Amino acid sequence: MRLPGRHRTLLLALALCALLGLGCPLSCEVCRGPGHTCSGRMKTCEADKDACVVLVGEASSKGRKSLTTFKACMKFKDCYSGFVSTTMTPGDYMVSNAHCCQTDGCNSGSVPPPLNNRTENGLTCPSCLAPFHETCPGTQTARCVGPETHCIYFAGNVQAGIINTKFAMRGCATPSACHTQPGAEVPSAYYLYFLRRADCDRALYPLGRGE
């Protein structure tokens, strides 16, 4: 069988790592860009990253909205396939849809952009958004929208490009946000979050103090 040199080398490497009983490294497409999809180069994942993710997210920061796609390697246990919505204030929210998979290049396609239902559902959560801080008091109130029925308190570090800083945030979220565990490394459309704290509780109706 005649194969181009690059393919022959790849096949040989895969045959060898299978033969030696080593975990063969996964390859994923890696990119970040505006819009419904992005395309980039294939990358061999670090040994502890056993999944590829494709995530499309709509974020609003102080009322400025944008749609971004993100593709990368990540840990399968930290990866959630599906829809996540979080709301801190009416102008600060994120909705995303993601697909996690575990074969080479399986994230090269796209996922449908998330539905963004901004209709208030009557539930509320303590709210705050504190970049550069480890905790935040939640003295404001977030009004939950669409399918958001839970309150989150996430804190840790956030990586934005070359900047890595502490952050804390509290607000409303879909139950799917409760899959996130402390220690997880989770992407949003723009940032990579390293979570030290990931609390998640049922939201209360407006008259309760969601604590």
Ligand X SMILES: *[C@@H]1O[C@H](CO)[C@@H](O)[C@H](O)[C@H]1NC(C)=O
Interacting residues with ligand X (CB under 6 A): 117, 119, 121, 146
- Report how far residue 96's alpha carbon sits from residue 115's, in angstroms, rounded to the nearest whole number: 8
The least distance separating ligand X from the CB of residue 190, rounded to whole angstroms, comes to 25
The least distance separating ligand X from the CB of residue 200, rounded to whole angstroms, comes to 18
The least distance separating ligand X from the CB of residue 96, rounded to whole angstroms, comes to 17
Distances (CA, A) of 172 to 45, 126, 135: 33, 8, 17
Q: Collapsing DSSP states into helix, strand and coil, what is residue 94? A: strand
The least distance separating ligand X from the CB of residue 99, rounded to whole angstroms, comes to 21
In the complex with ligand X, which residue's Cβ is closer, 83 or 190?
A: 83
In the complex with ligand X, which residue's Cβ is closer, 121 or 157?
A: 121
In the complex with ligand X, which residue's Cβ is closer, 71 or 143?
A: 143
Q: Locate the DSSP E strands across 15-113.
A: 27-29, 31-34, 42-44, 51-61, 64-74, 82-89, 92-101
Do 155 and 196 meet the contact criterion of CB atoms below 8 Å apart? yes
- Report how far residue 28's alpha carbon sits from residue 72's, in angstroms, rounded to the nearest whole number: 6
The least distance separating ligand X from the CB of residue 206, rounded to whole angstroms, comes to 14
Do 38 and 32 meet the contact criterion of CB atoms below 8 Å apart? yes
> Which secondary-structure segment (H or E) carries 128?
strand 120-131
In the complex with ligand X, which residue's Cβ is closer, 76 or 83?
A: 83
In the complex with ligand X, which residue's Cβ is closer, 89 or 121?
A: 121
